[in-house]
């Protein structure tokens, strides 16, 4: 239960997330201080699903160097995902069922100021729109992001905050405070 929203705007990326932690078995909710969005290793990330995958992405994962022979998508689909899977195996967070491996969540990645989605089966997606959202509040956030893309005077952080607010209004699994990071954090060394 979460809402993570991201957008590309004038050569920068922005990712915002809520602070709700919801237990699946009884739907109890707690507001958590550990953020779902962060800058690490020159990338921005925002996750939904298990907090464990987010913690590992933030504190245990080191992305491999990108070869000059590979474009960004090729690098992410091969080297990046392979390293992610290996780290998760080492840390015991991979899910294996019927010989298929999965990660206990999904996340949005900003790499080289472009947005990508890494889904639970490790597929890498690149949205055609300049924005994307994941989590239980995604549909509400996407509606807001679409509408505000028609308002050029609205700044990117305001758009992200408004999308998260729409998700919190209509989804019981999304709560303030909202945390927003942008790609300028990557330029200063995380």
- Mean residue pLDDT of the chain comes to 94
3-state helix, strand, coil in the chain (%, to 5): 30, 30, 40
Angle at 131 between CA 125 and CA 132, to 5 degrees: 50
**Residue pointed to by tokens 């206990």:** 104
What is 4-175's CATH number? 3.60.20.10
The answer, yes or no, to whether residue 126 has pLDDT greater than 90, is yes
Name which of 74-83, 90-99, 101-110, 143-152 the model is least confident about: 90-99
**Rounded mean pLDDT of 114-143?**
97
What is the spatial distance between Cα 92 and Cα 77, in angstroms, rounded to a whole number?
Answer: 22
The answer, yes or no, to whether residue 188 has pLDDT greater than 60, is no
This prediction's pTM: 0.93
CA dihedral 70, 123, 120, 97 (to 10 degrees): -110
**Rounded mean pLDDT of 109-127?**
97
DSSP secondary structure code for residue 43 in this structure? E
The pLDDT value given to residue 189: 47
Q: Bridge partners of 12?
A: 9
**Rounded mean pLDDT of 165-187?**
94
């Amino acid at each position: 239960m979460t809402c993570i929203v991201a957008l590309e705007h004038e050569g920068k990326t922005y990712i915002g997330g809520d602070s709700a932690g919801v237990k699946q078995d009884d739907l109890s909710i707690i507001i958590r201080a550990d953020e779902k969005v962060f800058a690490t290793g020159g990338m921005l990330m925002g996750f939904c699903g298990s907090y464990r995958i987010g913690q590992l992405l933030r504190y245990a994962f080191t992305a491999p160097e990108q070869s000059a022979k590979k474009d960004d998508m090729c690098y992410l689909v091969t080297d990046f995902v392979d390293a992610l899977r290996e780290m998760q195996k080492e840390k015991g967070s991979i899910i294996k069922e019927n010989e298929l491996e999965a990660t206990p969540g999904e996340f949005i990645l900003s790499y080289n100021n472009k947005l990508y989605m890494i889904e639970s089966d490790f597929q890498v997606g690149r949205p055609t729109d300049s924005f994307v959202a994941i989590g239980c509040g995604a549909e509400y956030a996407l509606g807001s992001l679409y509408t505000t893309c028609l308002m050029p005077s609205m700044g990117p952080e305001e758009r992200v905050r408004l999308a998260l607010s729409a998700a919190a209004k209509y989804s019981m699994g999304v709560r303030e405070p909202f945390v927003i990071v942008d790609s300028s954090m990557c330029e200063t060394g995380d």
